[in-house]
Amino acid sequence: MELCGLRLPGLLALLAALALRASATPGPALWPMPLSVQMSPNVLHLSPQSFSITHDPSSKAGASCIPLQEAFRRYYDYIFGHYKNPDHPAVFSTEMGLQRLLVSVVLDSECDTFPSITSDESCLETFSQLIYQDPYGTFTINESNITDSPRFPHRGILIDTGRHFLSVKTILKTLDAMAFNKFNVLHWHIVDDQSFPYQSIIFPGLSNEGSYSLAHVYTPNDVNTVIEYARLWGIRVIPEFDTPGHSQSWGKGQKDLLTPCYSQHVPTGTFGPINPILNSTYSFLYQFFKEISMVFPDQFIHLGGDEVEFDCWKSNPDIQDFMKQKGFYQDFSKLESFYIQKLLNITSTTKKGSIVWQEVFDDKVKLPAGTTVQVWKGQKYRDELHNVTTAGFPVLLSAPWYLDWISYGQDWRKYYEVEPLDFDGSTEQKKLVMGGEACLWGEYVDSTNLTPRLWPRASAVGERLWSPKEVRNLDDAYRRLTGHRCRMVE
CA distance 434 to 421: 10
What is the arrangement of strands in the sheet containing 36-46, beginning at the earlier edge strand?
A: 36-46, 139-147, 132-133
Of 110, 143, 240, 307, which residue is the catalytic one? 307
**Catalytic annotation on 95?**
no
Q: Are 250 and 311 in contact (CB under 8 A)?
A: no
**What is Dmax (Cα atoms) for the chain?**
88
Q: Is the separation of the CB atoms in 440 and 403 below 8 Å? A: yes
- Residue 481, helix vs strand vs coil: helix
Q: For residues 433 and 417, give the distance between their C-alpha atoms in angstroms, rounded to a whole number.
A: 17
The beta strands (E) that lie in 344-477 are given as 353-357, 372-375, 395-397, 433-440
Q: Which of 180, 197, 207 is nearest to 458 (CA)?
A: 180
Do the beta carbons of residue 239 and residue 224 sit within 8 Å? no
Q: Among 307, 303, 306, 336, which Cα is nearest to 319's?
A: 336
Minimal CA–CA distance to 241: which of 341, 162, 167? Answer: 162
DSSP class of residue 367 equals P
Of 157, 318, 339, the residue nearest 233 (C-alpha):
157
Question: Distances in Å between the alpha carbon of 287 and those of 60, 71, 347, 425?
Answer: 39, 37, 10, 40
- Is residue 192 within 8 Å of 246, Cβ to Cβ? yes
Catalytic residues: 307
